[in-house]
Amino acid sequence: MNIRTATPADGAAVAAIYDPIVRDTTISFETEPPGEAQMRARIEKTLEALPWLVAEDAAGTACGYAYASKHRERAAYQWSVDVTVYVREDMRGQGVGRALYGRLLPLLAQLGYCEAFAGIALPNAGSVALHEAMGFEPIGVYRRVGFKQGAWRDVGWWQKSLASTKTPTEPRPFSAA
């Protein structure tokens, strides 16, 4: 498996992984699949400040991706990020998510981020197991926070410390790393 920084050209491959999740599951709270152009734009925007990684299978086809986003807008939150990982259906349970987080989380620490948060639409035993295997700890649940596929859905929140410092310096943008 090869893990590399995504490029806008990965928009179609990322959409091929994500669009069925949006359309067919409650894992994502989006209700309309974003498609290639929107995913291309999301990759471009994310890479200005934060990493977006793609995993490729033995054939060189994208089989998963992971990225970070701002946790919140206010300045005091600048050392915290939200992280997410999605894996192509036929590759789930084969270590793709672990490999992606194994690269993403240390990279975020190197950039100066201290805490990572992951929101998981519940139930999702596979995602919970992945995050806990990567050292995330459960911190709470937003009950009935989203309505999808005819029912109210909960989102559990997990947290992982990336670095500890009494006086953090401003995180560096990924584009400068």
What pLDDT was estimated at residue 90?
95
Q: Where are the domains of the chain?
A: 2-176
- 88, HSE (Cβ side, Cα atoms, 13 Å): 15
pLDDT of residue 95: 97
Is the dihedral angle over the CA atoms 112, 42, 53, 130 positive or is it negative? Answer: positive
Question: What is residue 83's three-state secondary structure?
Answer: strand
Any idea which fold 2-176 has?
A: Aminopeptidase (3.40.630)
pLDDT at 45: 97
Backbone φ, ψ for residue 172 (5° rounding): -85, 145
Averaged over successive runs of 10 residues, the pLDDT of the chain (177 residues) comes to 97 98 97 97 97 97 98 96 97 97 97 97 97 98 98 98 90 89
Q: What's the pTM?
A: 0.96
Question: Tell me, what's the pLDDT at 143?
Answer: 98
